[in-house]
Amino acid sequence: MKPAPFDYLRAASLDEAVAALAANTGAKVIAGGQSLVPMLNFRLVDAPLFVDISGIDGLSGISETEDGGIRIGALTRHFDLETSAVIGDRYPVLHEAMKHVAHLAIRNRGTIGGSLSHADPAAELPAMAVLLDAEIVAKGPGGERRIMARDFFEAPLTTKLAPDEIVTAVELPSLPAGTGWGFEELAQRRGDFAVAGVAALVADGNARIAVFGAHDMPLRATKAEQAFGSDGIDAAVAALRAEIDPSDDLHGSADYRRHLAGVLCKRALQSAMNRAGA
């Protein structure tokens, strides 16, 4: 199908974009368009105006922050994240996750800000944001605010962003030295959305665990994390299976996803433990 008619504004600045969103009820942001345009083509999304932020200077790129973390501009393309040496060095779990994000032609266009704003529960980047305790920086008419990733996602395809707010950057705090990592995903084809996926970090006997594709939101599995700290890997797997609420679709039943997420959790934790302290 083809999109329904809409108006289009190529914003020259962030202020212009925010003002256009605030002044036009129902207006939406477009950047890479890799999640949005399919929904436009299906007419699942309709808006009177799309504000294109992809020409705004200063919203892309990866840089180090003063406190030792990393700042990723919202317009940073998936391919640039995938091939970033600093990401590969500092956040190998994110480097691994990027290999699973869609296909090259989509990674060439898609942006991290777009993926987080779209908030697909089966996508890798929202899960990475909650795993890495990312802070999401957004700008609206009232100025800039910061939202912790674990508070950012509200429901499938729904975030805390106001209609006139735009994600401008994502900041990742540095990982403790010796953090081990694991990333496990099952998809029908390489690059498809996950049937289920689990990523884990282990440092000093404590785990961080994030789940995607097997819950209605990207989930930090805090109960599984606690179980890992107190009773080890099998307890974490059991806690994770109790903690998630997967749904049925044509790729698998909820029961299958619950079983699968546990298997992937075990593998991710084992990889993370093997890599920890190195």
Structure tokens at 109: 């266009």
Q: Is 8 helix (H, G, I), strand (E, B) or coil?
A: strand
Structure tokens at 253: 């039943």
β-pairing verdict for 70-73 and 62-64: antiparallel
Count of positions on this chain that bind other proteins (CB under 8 A): 32
**Residue among 22, 88, 92, 106 that touches other proteins (CB under 8 A):** 106
Q: How far is the CB of 24 from other proteins (least distance, A)?
A: 13
In angstroms, rounded to a whole number, what is the distance separating the alpha carbons of residues 43 and 64? 40
Dihedral, CA of residue 122, residue 140, residue 3 and residue 119, to nearest 10? 0
66 lies in the site for other proteins, by CB under 8 A: no
In angstroms, rounded to a whole number, what is the distance separating the alpha carbons of residues 146 and 149? 9
**Residue among 21, 28, 50, 172 that touches other proteins (CB under 8 A):** 50
57 lies in the site for other proteins, by CB under 8 A: no
**Residue among 67, 189, 250, 278 that touches other proteins (CB under 8 A):** 189
Pick 100 or 258: Cβ nearer other proteins: 100
Q: Segment near other proteins (CB under 8 A), from 31-39, 168-176, 213-221, 228-236?
A: 31-39
76 lies in the site for other proteins, by CB under 8 A: no
229 lies in the site for other proteins, by CB under 8 A: no
| Residue 103: C-alpha distances to residues 99, 108, 240 (Å) | 9, 9, 29
61 lies in the site for other proteins, by CB under 8 A: no
Q: For Cα atoms 126, 277, 260, give the angle at the middle one, nearest 5 degrees.
A: 45
**Residue among 12, 86, 104, 148 that touches other proteins (CB under 8 A):** 104
103 lies in the site for other proteins, by CB under 8 A: yes
In angstroms, rounded to a whole number, what is the distance separating the alpha carbons of residues 170 and 92? 17
Where does this chain bind other proteins (CB under 8 A)? 1-8, 10, 30, 33-34, 37-38, 40-42, 50, 52, 54, 79, 102-106, 108-109, 189-192
